[in-house]
Amino acid sequence: MSDSLKINLTILPEEGLRLAFSEDARWFKECFSADELPEFSLVRVDVNCLITRSGDTIYIRGELAAQISQECSRCLELATIPINGDFTYTLVPAKEENAENLELTAQELETIYYQGDFIDLAPIICEQIVLQVPMKILCSEDCKGLCPNCGINLNMGSCDCHSDVVDDRLAVLKNFKVKH
């Protein structure tokens, strides 16, 4: 993991610290254990952020532009798509008290706790990449997907299957009529 994303809070300038960096797939994989890797692959991410301080509270504001690669949800071909987003984090020193039984306010849910004189931006950036990924990846908006009968990629060609074929399990509903 790159140490360049570990920020020493004791030498954080009063006007804040502006960072711009780029990372690749290898760096992204290091953010996760082998059994929690996301379904997509990161191709590259470019990040710009500003880290400022007010007392013990640290503020991180930034934007990222990334490219990710994953199978298209319709045709299963590998698709590379761009993702972009802005992010804001508030970091406060970790509390000593036992937080198990405390009810968190909405503001506290948006807060990250830190300990010591260093914060690591890597998990924050990796979290943001995961949050920006759409639920459904498509190679293109007009992707035709796969034929449900023969499995041919309909973007590459057509097939002789009939679109009016009814699944045997649903055939009983074919002539079902609803009375108003």
Tokens representing 149 are 């009968």
What pTM was estimated for this model as a whole? 0.75
- Per-residue pLDDT averaged across 88-98, rounded? 79
State the pLDDT confidence band at 86, using cuts at 50, 70 and 90: very high
State the pLDDT confidence band at 110, using cuts at 50, 70 and 90: low
Q: Is the pLDDT of residue 103 over 80?
A: no
* End-to-end CA, the chain: 64
State the pLDDT confidence band at 80, using cuts at 50, 70 and 90: very high
Tokens representing 152 are 């041919």
Flag the least confident range among 21-25, 92-96, 164-168: 164-168
- Per-residue pLDDT averaged across 48-67, rounded? 93
- Per-residue pLDDT averaged across 135-143, rounded? 92
pLDDT tens figures, 155-173 = 998 888 866 666 678 777 7
Spatial CA neighbour of 24 closest among 61, 63, 67, 56: 67
